[in-house]
């Protein structure tokens, strides 16, 4: 059995978790195994329909009030007790902030190996094989895990969603004892960014800017462009972030975020090696740069050699027109 942890916020499943469930369904079919889902917290009955329609045969709801607020210690304890009981061969998470915080904690509890931030899974000789970029994508590592269960986190935006079917399943409720004082740290508050924009790791389209923007005020141009493109986010190169033009949470590249959007639009980004590594799993790259020799053009699917300040306004108009059609 492959067990998939469903990350929920405000009682709703994150899209990244549905991607993981979809991939689990595909690999389980090859393994001749079943897929089960697990969620922690109270009041999550509403997610069952969606979980079953994406291919899980069972949904384990671990209901315990201390799990309503995320804590690595509490959630790891809850999953540990479930895994110890149902003994899945693999446990998958999405490689989101929560998944990457929680999965290693559970792995250490189980003494199990963990494949972080996978971009490809395969089954060979009845065994799971994990593939993940290292050095932010400059190299790719493939491996098996010797432990049972094998744990993995899967990179968001990489694994396609299975179309929802009408499958039914079984909800199994579990309670777990979380001893008083066991949770020594917990999330007390979530502060949303003002405009609640999408994170670059979750966006379908990234509108990204570098030193060619010349100053912090010109990121407004990119934000305006992003505003008309659905599911888009604003990204930035390291030099733009280090110049203080935009917050580091927007940074794409080796000391920022590794991204895999459908479309990466690079404005005024020359394409340093650490930036190119971070965008290498983008499905399509577009570069706009004045310098025809800029390394970004070597990886771009479409390029415009020109002044971004002259390209952005007509681009915006043309996009608006196409998107409204």
Q: Which of residues 158-177 bind another protein (CB under 8 A)?
A: none
Shortest reach from residue 136's CB to another protein, in Å: 6
What is the distance between the alpha carbons of residues 134 and 143, in angstroms, rounded to a whole number? 12
Asked if 228 touches another protein (CB under 8 A), the answer is no
The nearer residue to another protein, 172 or 304, going by C-beta atoms, is: 304
Cβ distance 78 to 62 under 8 Å?
yes
Asked if 128 touches another protein (CB under 8 A), the answer is no
**Can you give the three-state secondary structure of 29-87, one letter per residue?**
HHHCCCEEEEEECCCCHHHHHHHHHCCCCEEEEECCHHHCCCCHHHHHHHHHHHHHHHC
Helix (H) or strand (E) holding 101: helix 97-110
Asked if 324 touches another protein (CB under 8 A), the answer is no
Query: 263, 266, 269, 294: which one contacts another protein (CB under 8 A)?
Result: 263
The nearer residue to another protein, 49 or 295, going by C-beta atoms, is: 295
Count CB atoms within 10 A of the CB of residue 96.
22
The window from 20-28, 39-47, 212-220, 295-303 that contacts another protein (CB under 8 A) reads: 295-303
Query: 59, 240, 269, 300: which one contacts another protein (CB under 8 A)?
Result: 300
The window from 39-47, 53-61, 111-119, 166-174 that contacts another protein (CB under 8 A) reads: 111-119
Asked if 224 touches another protein (CB under 8 A), the answer is no
What is the distance between the alpha carbons of residues 114 and 107, in angstroms, rounded to a whole number? 6
What is the distance between the alpha carbons of residues 93 and 99, in angstroms, rounded to a whole number? 6
> Cα angle vertex 5, ends 44, 168, to 5°?
60
Asked if 318 touches another protein (CB under 8 A), the answer is yes
Helix (H) or strand (E) holding 228: helix 219-228
172-211 positions binding another protein, by CB under 8 A: 183-193, 196-199, 201-202, 205
Cβ distance 75 to 107 under 8 Å?
no
Shortest reach from residue 119's CB to another protein, in Å: 10
Asked if 216 touches another protein (CB under 8 A), the answer is no
Asked if 84 touches another protein (CB under 8 A), the answer is no
Asked if 214 touches another protein (CB under 8 A), the answer is no
The nearer residue to another protein, 61 or 203, going by C-beta atoms, is: 203
What is the distance between the alpha carbons of residues 68 and 75, in angstroms, rounded to a whole number? 10
Asked if 307 touches another protein (CB under 8 A), the answer is yes
1-60 positions binding another protein, by CB under 8 A: none
> How far is residue 48 CA from its own chain's centroid?
22
């Amino acid at each position: 059995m492959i067990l998939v942890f469903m990350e929920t916020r405000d009682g709703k499943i994150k899209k990244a978790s549905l991607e993981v469930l979809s991939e689990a369904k595909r690999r389980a079919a090859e393994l001749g195994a079943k897929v089960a889902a697990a969620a922690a917290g109270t009041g999550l009955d509403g997610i069952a329909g969606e979980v079953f329609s994406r291919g899980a045969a069972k949904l384990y709801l671990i209901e315990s009030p201390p799990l309503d607020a995320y804590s690595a210690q509490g959630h790891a304890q809850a999953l540990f007790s479930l895994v110890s009981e149902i003994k899945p061969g693999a446990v998958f998470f999405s490689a989101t902030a929560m998944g990457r915080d929680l999965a290693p904690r559970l792995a250490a509890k189980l003494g199990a190996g963990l494949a972080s931030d996978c971009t490809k899974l395969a089954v060979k000789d009845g065994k799971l094989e994990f593939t993940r970029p290292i050095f932010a994508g400059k190299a790719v590592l493939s491996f098996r895990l010797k432990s049972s269960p094998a744990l993995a986190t899967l990179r968001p935006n990489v694994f396609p969603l299975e179309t929802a079917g009408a499958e039914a399943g079984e909800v199994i409720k579990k309670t777990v004892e979380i001893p008083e004082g066991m949770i020594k740290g917990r999330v007390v508050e979530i502060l949303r960014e003002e405009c609640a924009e999408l994170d670059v790791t979750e966006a379908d389209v990234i509108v990204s800017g570098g030193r060619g923007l010349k100053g912090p005020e010109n990121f407004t141009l990119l934000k305006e462009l992003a505003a008309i493109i659905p599911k888009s986010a604003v990204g930035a190169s390291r030099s733009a972030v280090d110049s203080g033009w935009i917050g580091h949470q927007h940074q794409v590249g080796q000391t920022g975020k590794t991204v895999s959007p459908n479309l990466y639009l690079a404005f005024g980004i020359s394409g340093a090696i650490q930036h190119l590594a971070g965008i290498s799993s983008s499905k399509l790259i577009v570069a706009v740069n004045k310098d025809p020799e800029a390394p970004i053009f070597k990886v771009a699917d479409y390029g415009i050699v020109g002044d971004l300040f002259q390209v952005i306004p007509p681009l915006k108009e043309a996009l608006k027109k196409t998107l409204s059609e």
